[in-house]
Structure 1
Amino acid sequence: MRLTSLFLLFMVSMTTLAQRTENETITVKGEILEEGTNYPLEYATVSFFNPQNELVTGGISDGDGNYSIEVPKGLYRIQFDFISYQTKNLTQQRLTKNITLPAVSLALDAASLDEVVVRAETTEVQIRLDKKIYNIGKDLTTAGATVSDALNNVPSVTVDVEGAISLRGNENVRILINGKPSAIAGFGSTDALRQLPADAIERVEVITSPSARYDAEGTAGILNIILRKEKTLGLNGSVQTTIGAPLNSNISANVNLRTDKFNLFNTTGFRYSNAPGNAFFDNTYKDRIVTDPITGEQTVIAPTVRRIIEDREYDRERQGFNTNLGLEYFLTENSSITGSVFFRLGDDEDVTVNDSKELDNLDFLTFNRIRTETETEEDTSYQFSLNYANNFNDEGHKLTADLQYENDNETQRSYIDERNIFPNNEIFPAEDITTKEEQNEYLAQIDYVRPIGENAQFEAGYRGNFEKSIVDYELLEENGVSGNFMRNDSLSNKFTYQENVNALYSQYGNKFGKFSFLLGLRLENTQLKGNVEADDLVITETDDVALNFDKNYLGLFPTINLTFELKENENITLGYNRRINRPRGFFINPFPSRSSETNIFQGNPNLDPAYSNAFDIGYLKRWSSNLTLTGSIYYQHETDSFERVQEDTGNVTPNGVPIIRTIPFNLSTNDRYGVEAGILYNPAKWLRLNGSFNYFNFKSEGSFNGVDYGTENSSWFARGSAKVTLPSKIDWQTTAFYRGPSNTAQSESEGILSVNLAFSKDIMNDNGTLGLNVSDLLNSRKRRTFTETNTFTSDSEFQWRQRQINLSFTYRFNQKKQRQRNPQNSNDDDGDFEG
């Protein structure tokens, strides 16, 4: 079954049919159900072929599995198709008058090598040899939300209060857009994902056991975000607007124009929001024991300041514009070339007010200081992509080639002023900091797929990724309170970082009866180069921090993915892969942050990559169309893993307060194992339930400066969603998420509960939808952490964003409410493996 060709022919035939006179046609009606359960199949395809086996016309079923199609009178073979279900045909059907055909039941295609599809109304899950695919469907809580919010609803994925994305509790996850690194993800961070509307997502691929085709980067695995690209002929699309409190406004549009020769698609959005947040720190400093190196005599030194309490208030104003414009041109029936450009503008302003109180041994207030940091950020990103795809035949023999260039420019300016308000009013010199960051990245990739026989497939390819970033940091300090600023040459600097990765891969897959396998090997060469330029370095090279470096790594990364079908609707999978974690972003910049005078973060350019070996055993059982269970057991062993160490620098502020530094090192060996399970249950047509649970344990071993940072910890997280269809076609959805407590070698974190609530109502003959959702209904999404070292303790709480209420409106033109499911053999540039 080749759904792409079928769909195109169907649309062409519909155009031709519309030109005929009405008295030449009749109406054919019927119903399409799932065999064994009589569950209606929505958007199943019905095709009418003449005696010459030419496609004449066709249509699709509605939400109740019913279809009604105008057909010219004649003799036909009627074909019924649905993804991952067996095709059924009615032959020698002479149609001369309006008729209602008997109900047709389609059975699951258990012999399909590449996927098993699990249907649910909020999300459609496809289980493949090397991934799980979650199609973001009618998830009401993502209306007016961002891509980052939508990811937090995907099983196995968590997004913490600061936006850090984790897969199975591991933050080292690789984020790809349409199968490739992208400017959409920003400078190795996820900030841009908080600005893009969730409506731009077609699906999210959770790849916990990546095949050799994918980058070896990301020890936890890969999240591949596929953006929407409509495949329906003609002009169609949707527009969504949102207004919320605290202020959250956006408007976005998805527009598509498709003809027989080209497909023009565009997604454009604008956001303006204000996200208030807050944080609290309570640091208590212990007596320090100093040992005389000659006599060995120990002296106890009491800290000048015993306790500091910091209250921080964040006011974040966000403005962003993004557009993705592409044109796919069909060179022949089987080949196409696609060009696209992505452009993003951001204009943000953050104001952080830090109210700091210093207390003595009796907890009496000695100083009260206000530190205000106003940070503006302007960023521009653009990306050009060119893709060529050639399907040599309908059996999966194909060649694809990609070229991509992206440029990112960010300018941050921070103005810091500080003053005492107790015991006297005193103004301190201000700081004016400008950080300019530019990143250029080139990507070249070619993939070749060759089926061998009926069930086997061979694949090979190359990918080159070449990245260079320059961070220019300038610190101006006020001369007294005169308003005159001078450059601090000891901290101002320029840091240049290059990362070049060349990779070759090959993989082979086959199926023997109920057993399928996919074996692959990837060879990657990584070059990491860093260089610091500064007039008067206050930071010098030590054994721990090397300011300039040039490193080269060559590694082999094998992958194994196996599947065994126990029964028609039950299978188990086994996966193994070796992965790498390369240091990126602020983890390698050696110059300390300045947002806090006493708590700083310093990157470490001497970090080496970490390597992991991971195993995964998965299970799927489908009892009926309304009950499905998935589960897996996983284990990962990582060497040279990164550990963030907090330590007393030995330095103090002008007021005598010890400065605490957080810095990452290759400290530990990390063993992580866990189990996860998910269930989809639709007990009634008006009620749909799904839930997932993930438990993991990790143990790390390592020491630094005589301090043992080894630790063992277990944690878990769970999410559940219930969707109810109320009278008057109002949908109500509640989603709850809980992450259990966890700890590291130095810190303990409490559990976090978050509840989202949403309502939706279709209007305007189902062409429009009104939505109301509340994110973090209980205003409880806060990170609470307690840290203890030999010299201090720290009790902290952080809330990135308060409770959010959104009202949204979506209007669709020439488009069904729920999209046509993607054909199996589409040319989407998603780095997919189909064999």
Structure 2
Amino acid sequence: MKQFKFAVWLVLLFTSFYNYAQQAPTTKTKVKITGKVLEKTTKQPLEYATVSVMLPNETKVITGGITNPKGEFEVAVDPGTYDIKIEFISFKATEFKQKSIQDNTNLGVVNLSEDAAQLNEVVVRAEKSTVEIKLDKKVYNVGQDMIVKGGTVSDVLENVPSVSVDVEGNVSLRGNENVRIFIDGRPSNALNMAEALRQIPADAIDKVEVITNPSARYDAEGGAGILNIVLKKGKNLGFNGSFILSTGIPETYGASANLNYKTEKLNFFTSTGYDYRTSEGSGMTNATNLNSGNIIGYTNEDKETERLRKGISTKTGVEWTLAPNTYWTNAISYRNNNGTNSDLVNYDSYDENNVFTSTRYRLSNADDSGKDLEFTSNFLKNFNDKGHKLTIDFSYSKDKDANNAIITDETIGSGEPAKFDTTFNNQKQNQFQSQLDYVLPFDNGSQFEAGYKGNFNKLNNEYSVSTDDEGNPIDGFLSNTLEYNELINSFYTQYGFKVTKFSFLFGLRWEDTKIDINLLDTQNFNTKKYNNFFPSAFVNYEISDESSVSLSYSKRLSRPRGRFLNPATDFSSNINLFRGNPDLDPSFTDKYDVGYLKRWEKVTFSTSMYYENTKDVFSFVRSETGEYVGNSPVILSSPINLAKEQQFGFEFTLNYTPFKIWKINSSFNLSDTKTTGDYSFTNTQGDIITTNLNNETFSWFSRVNSRLSLPYKIDWQLSGMYFGPRNTAQGKVLGNYVINTAFSKDILKDKATIALNVSDLFNSRRMKNETNLESVTSYSEFQWRKRQINLSFTYRLNMKKTDRDKNAPKNGNGGEEGGGDFPG
């Protein structure tokens, strides 16, 4: 009933806006100056070109604006005669002297050409805001963020609005972990996404696009939305680039180069780096063991971890300008990483009277390695300069990962010899993707889009746990081989148009899915077939040039992947186990969003109210296996499908520039989530256990980022995040906070920058949990990475110190997954 009322409310709101649009007066006291700015050679639109309007023969700007992603601009002025100047960094400006503007005037297409004299200079310009708020997404520009220098993609995401990263590296959007990660507009299907994001250096990232309610243009997968990580690609003419060296505590070293050489026809680019990174973590669990409600003992668990990662990563390619409006880009990405993991767990056991009985330690030493190779090809044909284009993408990737560990388990002083277990995990993945997008704009401002995408993925994961006695697997509960084959074909179409101040975008996507999930050791074969339609609808009302309100709806799904599916059991602790569930079904989400955007001279404010209704939602549960190690029950954590989850929330983002030298970005998110469902399982003793997981929780998190320019060309950045407490069906997650800070200074005539940053300044980033089960209650803390200090040196060769390369031609590899922009 609540969903019906909500839907009726949305329909009424849509209808009232539409009726108001038909009746809205169109007479205005001011007139508009419009036009479009293109790069002369490539005929590509120049986003963020500056339009300045002045009185004749005066230098004071009375009004102005910037171009949108299509290169278009619109400036409102009183009727009169003006000087109009259009300019862009490292391009020759174009001026219209004493232009008479008596009514709406279109200046047509303005072609800007690069200024060769400026290209050899290093000029420091005012930076664009770190966070941009656009109609259908938020864009976080990484280029000038000192906090993440020398870090990884995980560090970048920790500073992105609406995004949170827990201490284990798991990414969530608006508190929901069912988020889809894209790299350069293509989905990443890494088995361990948290680990994969730690292998990409932050210095290779240009921007992160946050899409909370994607249209039909995008994959339907990702119930929470999509995060698109865009890698750097240089585009300036000639040879230019940047070199970065970094070091840190705990022991960390890095070196990377972002280079490109561009002629009129060819652009060669590479982003290559080497990383040597260590991270230290710790954890503890204090558990009270119960039997029929009576205390039978206590177990205190302390954990120390140390991880080492080293390897090289590169993305190298060439963009070929076949014709003034036709581009073909080919690139090869390669990553080769290896490292070690050391987990030491100490258990102190006590009897029911809290009298010490024994100490046991469990040491896991693991070696891991990974190789990823990907080839991508993109063809872009612009039929004209109005957005009519065809994009074709192909990609093929091969991934290999291996992890072997020796686990030593010994009870101190017991007289019994130490026990040795060996774990083996080997996974191989091949993936092929093809995509076609076509965009056809019309003269009346409307736009039609259509496309196809095919995703074909094959994975084999072998995992086993053996003893030192005979070398045989312990049992099928811990060892298995997963064979995963995925075939997804999808088609989409969408149409956008404008009616006075209203913009509309309606789309429909169809996806056909076939997935084979086979457990070869246990001869368990499972095929899942389904096809579904995914509609989307967006309405935007432009209240004024500075404010707008938007409504949106989309249907999404979340396919279980990675650690959710993988039956490999984390065996570093033999009383707290984790394993994936290969029998998970996809979950489906209906997403509704109402947003408001307001811009003032120094402030940009954005807020949204959202509602999400998910069926068969994924949820992690802790189950009692029925086994014991001493007096300690063995607990297994695993994901399951629950009946339903309903989330209602608010989100606020505020960008404030009190002074030219000081910028503040802040965001706040709060939500109420209601989950309903029961879970039944059979433990190893054959007992059927049923748990009611009905739960309602309120959660919130907040983020503030401040950047201040100090004297002597020193910049200071400070960021803080707080994650509020929340209840779970089996306990509670306590609140935690983290403070990061950084300083940077330009040297060598502004050709180089030194930056010092400290992540988790107060060493406070700890996940804290309270768990209440029938056989055990516990309190636990875990810190994946302790405080990290990094020092970096950046040298720019024939490059300007701008936050990103704004004059880059937009090809299919560089931004959104599909074609055109939301109309208007």
Q: Could you say if the C-alpha distance between residues 819 and 689 of structure 1 is closer, same or farther in structure 2, counting changes exceeding 3 Å?
A: closer
User: Partner of 1:286: helix, strand, or coil?
Assistant: strand
Within the candidate set 584, 593, 616, 1:607 is matched to: 584
Q: Aligned partners of 2:643, 2:98: CA distance in 1, in Å?
A: 59
- Which residue does the alignment assign to 1:634? 610
* Amino acid corresponding to residue 164 of structure 1 in structure 2: N
For 1:305-357, what per-residue CA distance to the aligned partner results, in whole angstroms no more than 9, with x for missing partners? Answer: 52211101001111121000111111111111111111001111011000011
Retained in 1: the 8 A contact 2:42–2:809?
Answer: no
Q: Aligned partners of 1:273, 1:442: CA distance in 2, in Å?
A: 31
Q: Aligned partners of 2:809, 2:676: CA distance in 1, in Å?
A: 47
Q: Which runs of 5+ in 1 are unaligned?
A: 11-29, 47-56, 81-85, 92-118, 290-301, 541-546
Within the candidate set 808, 811, 816, 2:800 is matched to: 816
For 1:660-693, what per-residue CA distance to the aligned partner results, in whole angstroms no more than 9, with x for missing partners? Answer: 1122221231000111111111111222212111
Higher relative contact order (CA 8 A, sep 6+): 2
Q: Aligned partners of 1:648, 1:32: CA distance in 2, in Å?
A: 76
Task: Please say if 1:229 is aligned against 2:233.
Answer: yes
User: Partner of 1:190: helix, strand, or coil?
Assistant: helix
Retained in 2: the 8 A contact 1:196–1:269?
Answer: no
Task: Please say if 1:717 is aligned against 2:701.
Answer: yes
Q: TM-score, normalised by structure 1?
A: 0.83
Task: Please say if 1:698 is aligned against 2:673.
Answer: yes
Q: Aligned partners of 1:190, 1:561: CA distance in 2, in Å?
A: 32
CA deviation after TM superposition for structure 1 residue 390, in Å: 0.5
Q: Equivalences for 1:10-49 in 2 at 5 Å?
A: 35-36=62-63
Within the candidate set 686, 711, 714, 2:661 is matched to: 686
- Which residue does the alignment assign to 2:399? 408
CA deviation after TM superposition for structure 1 residue 273, in Å: 1.4
* Amino acid corresponding to residue 204 of structure 1 in structure 2: V
Within the candidate set 450, 467, 480, 1:493 is matched to: 480
Q: Aligned partners of 1:173, 1:89: CA distance in 2, in Å?
A: 42
Retained in 1: the 8 A contact 2:542–2:548?
Answer: yes
Q: Equivalences for 1:661-680 in 2 at 5 Å?
A: 661-680=636-655
Within the candidate set 312, 322, 327, 1:321 is matched to: 312
Within the candidate set 595, 613, 616, 1:618 is matched to: 595
Q: Aligned partners of 1:809, 1:410: CA distance in 2, in Å?
A: 32
- Which residue does the alignment assign to 1:347? 338
- Which residue does the alignment assign to 1:248? 252
CA deviation after TM superposition for structure 1 residue 822, in Å: 3.4
Q: Aligned partners of 2:346, 2:268: CA distance in 1, in Å?
A: 53
CA deviation after TM superposition for structure 1 residue 190, in Å: 2.7
- Which residue does the alignment assign to 2:454? 464
For 1:419-465, what per-residue CA distance to the aligned partner results, in whole angstroms no more than 9, with x for missing partners? Answer: 1114x343232011111100111101111111122311000001110
Q: Equivalences for 1:105-124 in 2 at 5 Å?
A: 121-124=128-131
* Amino acid corresponding to residue 457 of structure 1 in structure 2: Q
Retained in 1: the 8 A contact 2:378–2:812?
Answer: no
- Which residue does the alignment assign to 1:530? 517
Q: Aligned partners of 1:761, 1:436: CA distance in 2, in Å?
A: 45
Q: Could you say if the C-alpha distance between residues 145 and 31 of structure 1 is closer, same or farther in structure 2, counting changes exceeding 3 Å?
A: farther
- Which residue does the alignment assign to 1:104? none
Within the candidate set 498, 506, 511, 2:493 is matched to: 506
Q: Equivalences for 1:422-437 in 2 at 5 Å?
A: 422=413, 424-437=414-427
Retained in 2: the 8 A contact 1:157–1:168?
Answer: yes
- Which residue does the alignment assign to 1:49? none
Q: Equivalences for 1:298-337 in 2 at 5 Å?
A: 306-337=297-328
Q: Equivalences for 1:182-201 in 2 at 5 Å?
A: 182=188, 186-187=190-191, 189-201=193-205
Task: Please say if 1:786 is aligned against 2:770.
Answer: yes
Retained in 2: the 8 A contact 1:516–1:564?
Answer: yes
Q: Could you say if the C-alpha distance between residues 360 and 209 of structure 1 is closer, same or farther in structure 2, counting changes exceeding 3 Å?
A: same
For 1:225-272, what per-residue CA distance to the aligned partner results, in whole angstroms no more than 9, with x for missing partners? Answer: 111112211111001111111112111110011111111111001110
Q: Could you say if the C-alpha distance between residues 78 and 784 of structure 1 is closer, same or farther in structure 2, counting changes exceeding 3 Å?
A: farther
Q: Could you say if the C-alpha distance between residues 395 and 415 of structure 1 is closer, same or farther in structure 2, counting changes exceeding 3 Å?
A: same
Within the candidate set 743, 754, 757, 2:741 is matched to: 757
How many residue pairs end up in the alignment?
731
User: Partner of 1:382: helix, strand, or coil?
Assistant: strand
Within the candidate set 126, 138, 148, 1:142 is matched to: 148
For 1:672-726, what per-residue CA distance to the aligned partner results, in whole angstroms no more than 9, with x for missing partners? Answer: 0111111111111222212111111100011123321010011111111121111
Retained in 2: the 8 A contact 1:557–1:579?
Answer: yes
Retained in 1: the 8 A contact 2:256–2:273?
Answer: yes
CA deviation after TM superposition for structure 1 residue 221, in Å: 0.3
- Which residue does the alignment assign to 2:784? 800
For 1:463-516, what per-residue CA distance to the aligned partner results, in whole angstroms no more than 9, with x for missing partners? Answer: 11011111112333112xxxx744547454321011211111000011122100
Within the candidate set 567, 577, 580, 2:544 is matched to: 567
Retained in 1: the 8 A contact 2:234–2:805?
Answer: no
Q: Aligned partners of 1:78, 1:257: CA distance in 2, in Å?
A: 37
User: Partner of 2:40: helix, strand, or coil?
Assistant: helix
Q: Aligned partners of 1:574, 1:89: CA distance in 2, in Å?
A: 32
- CA RMSD after TM alignment: 3.0
Q: Could you say if the C-alpha distance between residues 681 and 527 of structure 1 is closer, same or farther in structure 2, counting changes exceeding 3 Å?
A: same
* Amino acid corresponding to residue 384 of structure 2 in structure 1: N
Q: Aligned partners of 2:149, 2:367: CA distance in 1, in Å?
A: 28
* Amino acid corresponding to residue 517 of structure 2 in structure 1: G
User: Partner of 2:155: helix, strand, or coil?
Assistant: helix
Q: Equivalences for 1:208-219 in 2 at 5 Å?
A: 208-219=212-223
Q: Aligned partners of 1:79, 1:390: CA distance in 2, in Å?
A: 38
Q: Could you say if the C-alpha distance between residues 31 and 88 of structure 1 is closer, same or farther in structure 2, counting changes exceeding 3 Å?
A: farther
Greater mean deviation of Cα atoms: 248-257 or 585-594: 585-594
Within the candidate set 106, 124, 132, 1:125 is matched to: 132
* Amino acid corresponding to residue 265 of structure 1 in structure 2: F
Identity across matched positions, percent: 39
Q: Could you say if the C-alpha distance between residues 328 and 277 of structure 1 is closer, same or farther in structure 2, counting changes exceeding 3 Å?
A: same
- Which residue does the alignment assign to 1:744? 728
Q: TM-score, normalised by structure 2?
A: 0.84
User: Partner of 2:600: helix, strand, or coil?
Assistant: strand
Retained in 2: the 8 A contact 1:79–1:87?
Answer: no
Task: Please say if 1:478 is aligned against 2:468.
Answer: yes
Please identify runs of 4+ aligned residues in structure 1 that moved more than 6 A: 30-34, 86-91
Within the candidate set 262, 266, 269, 1:262 is matched to: 266
CA deviation after TM superposition for structure 1 residue 785, in Å: 0.5
Q: Aligned partners of 1:824, 1:269: CA distance in 2, in Å?
A: 22
- Which residue does the alignment assign to 1:446? 436
Q: Aligned partners of 1:556, 1:591: CA distance in 2, in Å?
A: 33
CA deviation after TM superposition for structure 1 residue 553, in Å: 0.9
Q: Aligned partners of 1:327, 1:45: CA distance in 2, in Å?
A: 29
* Amino acid corresponding to residue 157 of structure 2 in structure 1: L
Task: Please say if 1:649 is aligned against 2:649.
Answer: no
Q: Aligned partners of 1:203, 1:341: CA distance in 2, in Å?
A: 20
Retained in 1: the 8 A contact 2:316–2:332?
Answer: yes
Q: Aligned partners of 1:369, 1:174: CA distance in 2, in Å?
A: 41
For 1:766-803, what per-residue CA distance to the aligned partner results, in whole angstroms no more than 9, with x for missing partners? Answer: 11001111111111001110010122112100001111
CA deviation after TM superposition for structure 1 residue 824, in Å: 9.3
* Amino acid corresponding to residue 784 of structure 1 in structure 2: K
* Amino acid corresponding to residue 453 of structure 1 in structure 2: D
Within the candidate set 361, 365, 370, 1:374 is matched to: 365
CA deviation after TM superposition for structure 1 residue 808, in Å: 0.7
Q: Aligned partners of 1:578, 1:595: CA distance in 2, in Å?
A: 39
CA deviation after TM superposition for structure 1 residue 138, in Å: 1.9
Q: Equivalences for 1:724-743 in 2 at 5 Å?
A: 724-743=708-727
- Which residue does the alignment assign to 2:563? 586
Retained in 2: the 8 A contact 1:265–1:327?
Answer: yes
Within the candidate set 759, 763, 780, 1:775 is matched to: 759
Q: Could you say if the C-alpha distance between residues 253 and 415 of structure 1 is closer, same or farther in structure 2, counting changes exceeding 3 Å?
A: same
CA deviation after TM superposition for structure 1 residue 120, in Å: 6.8
Q: Aligned partners of 1:631, 1:522: CA distance in 2, in Å?
A: 28
